[in-house]
Amino acid sequence: MPSIQETSFLKDSAAKAFETRHRQIINYNIDKYDAAVRIGLAPFQHIENSKRKAHIIKWKVMENLDKLLPEFEANFLRKGGKVIWANDAEEARQEIWKIMENAGAKTVVKSKSMTTEEVELNAFLEEKGVQAFETDLGEYIVQLLKQKPYHIVTPAMHLSLQDIAALFHQHFGTPPDATAQELTLKARELLREQYVTADVGITGGNFLIADTGSVAITENEGNARLTTTFPRIHIAIVGIEKIIPSLNDLDLFWPLLATHGTGQRLTVYNSIIGGPRQEGETDGPAEMYVVLLDNGRTDLLAQKEQRQGLYCIRCGACLNGCPIYKNVGGHTYNTTYSGPIGSLITPHLRGMEEFKHLSYASSLCGKCTAVCPVKIDIHKMLLLNRRDAVANNMVPKAERLAWRGFTFAMMRRKVIDFFSGRFKNSILRRFFRKAWGKRRGLPNVAPKSFSQQWKAKEK
């Protein structure tokens, strides 16, 4: 029986793929992204060498994670920060709540963070009576809509300017035909007060730097910098895979992230935060915590063939290149991480049995692998996930028997040639019409196979 998640995905994706307006918005936004990335990559003299070097560094990180994480912790503690190790989402939420409860915190400002989405922090804080304000404009928009982010980098990619103008008109009385600049200024006006009054600032982290004990954050709006500066307490929740060995590695990873993520040579704001405010410093939090989140990552690390999924630097390039994502959209995946990289890692982070179907949501065209800045062999990893699902008996018995029969026939030319084209077409129509999709016509098998035609031609 298919899982609830699989049933939902198939239903939602079938509907979304034929939603014309959705396709127009996504194609328009991704076309702009593609044009920007072409310009952004131009200054690289040897982009493939840069990607290969990044891949090797991340490989070394995964081989030495047990050494690099304690190194980061020791260096961060030395600066007065505190480190919390969270095995899963619930532990992360409870540890963050302890900090806030001890401080009597009632309001939170958050910068863009996929890890806080992963642990569903906003809903948890709301239950506790704490107001959490998203300060990234895209995140703020989807928060107003009570939606999840649509995209790893661009949370509101599925919305047009008219959609956002209508939303702001409904909530704040701005003109229904407001320009992008007017909407941005309104959001800035609404959020500025929150920075100076919030008790706690919560961020993610693009990279953890082992040799300096620092968190590197990259952004375009400056909201993360404000989130980490004004509130008395700063909490950064970061996946354990985000570590890099040295500060010098940012020289490679920051440009790769910026060019593949938004087409920029470098994002506008890049911050390296190494702990709470030190003596003689004029701004920064009095307390800083880093929550190191596992939440299934060590389970993926144990999969030697698929652990490449942990190399991901969350640039979103594979989503923008994926023909499946561009048709079915980000929300249909019903996961924090959508698109090809989400299809790779989610079955390991949240359970293969429940999410194995995502590894089949791929044309295996290889575009995701081609665009990845750290050279993750994504489409191969998806095939390995499929293999594991079959090996662990997570597919229906009828499906296994069908493929066994298919394999038997395809490896024996005489069996294939024994049946006529008419018989083969009747089999396709009887057993494969539903799987092929009601909106597509089944291909017609030729009356004679290529082998038979070749024999006739060559006498």
196-245 pLDDT tens trace: 999 999 999 999 999 999 999 999 999 999 999 999 999 999 999 999 99
Percentage of the residues of the chain whose pLDDT score is greater than 70: 100
Confidence band of 2 (pLDDT split at 50, 70, 90): confident
Strand 107-110 to strand 287-293: parallel, antiparallel, or no bridges (unpaired)? Answer: unpaired
Q: Check whether 159 has a pLDDT greater than 90.
A: yes
pLDDT value at residue 197 = 94
Q: Check whether 436 has a pLDDT greater than 80.
A: no
Q: Check whether 416 has a pLDDT greater than 90.
A: no
Is the torsion defined by CA of 311, 313, 316, 317 positive or negative? Answer: negative
Taking the C-alpha atoms of residue 459 and residue 455, their distance in angstroms, rounded to an integer, is 6
pLDDT in tens, 243-257: 999 999 999 999 999
Q: What is the arithmetic mean of pLDDT over 282-289?
A: 94
Question: What token pair was written down for 268?
Answer: 């506008």
Question: What token pair was written down for 422?
Answer: 């008419």
DSSP, collapsed to helix, strand or coil, labels residue 290 as strand
Taking the C-alpha atoms of residue 10 and residue 361, their distance in angstroms, rounded to an integer, is 10
Residue 289, strand partner residues: 82, 235
Q: Between 96 and 435, where is the model more confident?
A: 96
pLDDT in tens, 366-379: 999 999 999 999 99
Taking the C-alpha atoms of residue 62 and residue 312, their distance in angstroms, rounded to an integer, is 12
Q: Check whether 459 has a pLDDT greater than 80.
A: no
Q: Check whether 155 has a pLDDT greater than 90.
A: yes
Cβ atoms of residues 242 and 68 within 8 Å: no
pLDDT value at residue 449 = 87
Taking the C-alpha atoms of residue 363 and residue 450, their distance in angstroms, rounded to an integer, is 25
Question: What's CA 455's distance to the chain center, in Å?
Answer: 51
Q: What is the arithmetic mean of pLDDT over 61-88?
A: 98
Confidence band of 400 (pLDDT split at 50, 70, 90): confident
Q: What is the CA radius of gyration of the chain?
A: 25
Please state whether 384 falls in left (phi above 0), alpha (psi between -120 and 50) or beta: alpha
Alpha-helix runs per DSSP H in 283-396: 297-301, 317-321, 323-328, 339-350, 352-355, 367-371, 378-391
Sequence-separated contacts (24+) of 349-352 with Cβ below 8 Å: 349/295, 349/296, 349/297, 349/299, 349/300, 350/296, 352/385, 352/388, 352/389, 352/392, 352/394
Q: Check whether 282 has a pLDDT greater than 90.
A: no
Cβ atoms of residues 428 and 445 within 8 Å: yes
Residue ranges of domains in the chain, CATH in brackets:
4-11+298-391 (1.10.1060.10), 43-295 (3.40.50.10420), 397-458 (no CATH)
Q: What is the arithmetic mean of pLDDT over 292-296?
A: 98
Beta sheet of 233-239, edge-to-edge order: 82-86, 287-293, 233-239, 200-203, 107-110, 131-134
Sequence-separated contacts (24+) of 16-19 with Cβ below 8 Å: 16/327, 16/328, 16/329, 16/331, 16/332, 17/327, 17/328, 18/439
**378 to each of 48, 65, 95, 348, how far by Cα in Å?**
16, 21, 34, 14
Angle at 313 (CA atoms; ends 310, 318), nearest 5 degrees:
95
The string of DSSP letters for 383-394 reads: HHHHHHHHHTT-
Q: Check whether 452 has a pLDDT greater than 80.
A: yes
pLDDT value at residue 458 = 85
- Nearest Cα neighbor of 42 from 254, 248, 267, 255 is 255
Confidence band of 428 (pLDDT split at 50, 70, 90): confident
Q: What is the arithmetic mean of pLDDT over 55-72?
A: 98
- Could you report how far apart the first and last alpha carbons of the chain are, in Å? 50
pLDDT in tens, 302-319: 999 999 999 999 999 999
Q: List CB contacts of 319: < 8 A, sequence separation 6 or more.
A: 151, 152, 325, 330, 338, 339, 340, 341
pLDDT in tens, 315-363: 999 999 999 999 999 999 999 999 999 999 999 999 999 999 999 999 9
Q: Check whether 409 has a pLDDT greater than 90.
A: no
pLDDT-wise least confident of 101-105, 307-311, 443-447:
443-447
pLDDT value at residue 378 = 98
- Is pTM, for the whole model, over 0.85? yes
pLDDT value at residue 310 = 98
Q: Average pLDDT of the chain?
A: 94
pLDDT value at residue 441 = 84
